[in-house]
Chain A
């Protein structure tokens, strides 16, 4: 174990330079973030991920955000275990009917102000599962969505660019 620790000291960091926030995401988020809200959340966002029917591909790439290359925590973005601790809900999947209630209840359990980010093509409009008897379709049909990050699945870099837009001063929609 010591050898691995020492090697890590010598070899320096793998973490890559931060990407610039996604322009489209900034546009979608649109209106400016109020001073009050910015003061409240600072540059720190607690994220609760909800799989609402994903094939688990999106989850793999969301996981990758935590690895040494992307190191999402350096931006103040942190995954939390409970919606009660969350500022952001990261929702994946075509919202299966069997998950609809759980998604609604998780949304209600999240304190204001909160933002919902729909991740992956399925979360945007149901993707290849649109029209199934078992799927609602877009996440926005169940809970209000502030930002969409497309991709099947979106790469960690795409995810990071989208999430950084939330932290950009003057980016996020004002929430009561």
Chain B
């Protein structure tokens, strides 16, 4: 089995692609990569289109290698990866919808993000097409006696994002769940093309609101890689501080919300108080409750004052005083455990096959955290554990998040103790001409976010791809729900908490 780096060496290396190599390869190398994915020798980090090409980001776990391979699609086609590697299926359908590039022998000819309402086809492609006539969407069939279907959404019963879930059930038991997403497709990658860095960073920060800090950091890191500049040390540490505050807020809020979906409102009420305290502290320190538009290419927008440091220390103290009692409450309430233990089990083999990131992957034995591997500063100077469980049920996902709350508290303290001084933003005036490309992998609360960026000679974005961790988690929710009762779906869904907006773009 050749190493990923050897395969990339076979292709035509693209200069100015940082920090990992990108090479244009022949279709036989592309097919070989697909076969390596199918055997899970390598893992798929992303698969996205371009005007006349497709790109694939690959991860080789043992050697901690990451690389991007590209295939030029002269005839508008490329060999399907999804044919042998199902995690690529929805990504390929998206490439077809947005660029009009056809996956040869692709097993699923149905559109994905295109619902037939845009008034055009292939909005990002070389040639924009006429809309599909007589658009229809067939759900996958389920055959058998006594099966019935339940159609849910896109407008759901709670304050949540829109998507459609088609359940086929036998009595109370879910036989098949099929998701249909794309309702909140805003055309972010289309708006990115031609945008300057400021506007593009704003768009990136609005890809998934709950991960606005992580997206801001990922975009900034991709832009800095492309421009080959380094943000000042204080900015790097402040970014990590904001990222951990964001992780803390989301984890504690969701732990409560998961319990609420098992009708245990007490936990929800107390977790919501803690979440509000985090957001208020964020507002006091950085001037925005979600810390939106605070991480920018070159650094950060807001410095942390001494009063902010005191505010965050008080927050950590408050958390340490309140949170353990809530963990005990979760652990000691048998009626709640009865709902979460053994529910919505995601098998470790599937988590690995899909390169499923975040707490969903880590609750099913996938030991991956982008802060560790590939790693990025300042996490190399910080001590933290990556909690790992094997059970893969709702309970395991809750416990991974409980442990991550504790880790984030420790990280916040360490960052406050070691925060370097100095400026918070570097000049992003670009150096050198010609197109430049950057890629970044950043750990948001939900998992690893991949952003790939190509800047043109004028410093504007030519192409930017944003891959939310949800792409590799949504399909696994379908698998985890199978065999559970319909009434446990909200619980399973909340324990995954995939982003609709981050996925639909």
Contacts and interface: CB of A to CB of B under 8 A. Distances in A.
Interface of A: 1, 3-5, 14, 49-64, 66-69, 79, 81-83, 93-94, 96-102, 106, 127-129, 131-135, 152-153, 155
B463 to A, nearest CB: 16
Given A1-B329, A128-B206, A152-B206, 13 more contacts: A1-B333, A50-B155, A53-B186, A54-B209, A56-B499, A68-B272, A100-B117, A102-B154, A128-B203, A131-B191, A133-B120, A134-B123, A134-B190
B78 interface: no
Contact of B154 (A14, A58, A81, A99): A99
A60 B187 contact: no
A56 B333 contact: no
Contacts of A128: 191, 199, 202-203, 206
Contacts of B433: none
Interface string B138-166: 00000000000000001101111110000
Interface string B336-374: 000000000000000000000000000000000000000
A132 B185 CA distance: 10
Contacts of B13: none
A44 to B, nearest CB: 19
A20 to B, nearest CB: 20
Contacts of B118: 97, 133-134
Contacts of B80: none
B279 interface: yes
30 contacts: A1-B329, A3-B325, A4-B270, A4-B326, A14-B273, A51-B162, A54-B161, A57-B210, A59-B161, A59-B209, A61-B289, A63-B159, A64-B276, A67-B275, A68-B269, A68-B273, A69-B276, A93-B184, A97-B115, A98-B117, A101-B117, A102-B154, A102-B162, A127-B206, A133-B119, A133-B120, A133-B187, A134-B185, A135-B187, A153-B290
Contacts of A52: 162
B417 to A, nearest CB: 30
B94 interface: no
Q: Which 3 A-B pairs have the closest CB atoms?
A: A57-B209, A134-B187, A81-B157
A59 B500 CA distance: 12
Contacts of B202: 128
B395 interface: no
Interface string B176-189: 00000011111110
Nearest to A50: B155
Interface of B: 113, 115, 117-120, 123, 154-155, 157-162, 182-188, 190-191, 199, 202-203, 206-210, 212, 253, 266, 269-270, 272-273, 275-276, 279, 283, 289-290, 292, 325-326, 329, 332-333, 499-501, 504
B160 A51 contact: yes
Given A60-B209, A128-B202, A132-B190, A51 B325 contact: no
A152 B500 contact: no
Nearest to B325: A4
A131 B192 CA distance: 12
A98 B185 CA distance: 7
Nearest to B500: A56
B212 A62 contact: no
B296 to A, nearest CB: 15
B190 A51 contact: no
Given A68-B272, A99-B154, A56 B187 contact: no
B87 to A, nearest CB: 23
A52 B207 CA distance: 14
Contacts of B326: 4
Contacts of A133: 118-120, 123, 187, 190
A129 B190 CA distance: 10
A59 B187 CA distance: 20
B210 to A, nearest CB: 6
Nearest to A48: B155
Contacts of A5: 266
Given A4-B329, A55-B207, A58-B209, A132 B186 contact: yes
Contacts of B504: 96, 98
Nearest to A53: B184
Given A59-B209, A64-B279, A4 B266 contact: yes
A98 B184 CA distance: 7
Which of A53, A83, A93 has the most C-beta atoms of chain B within 10 angstroms of its own C-beta? A53
Which of A50, A66, A67 has the most C-beta atoms of chain B within 10 angstroms of its own C-beta? A67
A50 to B, nearest CB: 6
A124 to B, nearest CB: 14
Contacts of B159: 49, 59, 62-63, 79
Contact of A94 (B186, B208, B212, B269): B186
Contacts of A132: 186-188, 190-191
A57 B290 CA distance: 8
A13 B290 CA distance: 25
Contact of B155 (A60, A97, A98, A106): A106
B190 A102 contact: no
Given A4-B329, A60-B290, A82-B157, A98 B183 contact: yes
B129 to A, nearest CB: 12
Contact of A102 (B120, B183, B185, B500): B183
Given A60-B209, A68-B269, A99 B187 contact: no
A49 B159 CA distance: 6
A60 B254 CA distance: 11
Nearest to A100: B117
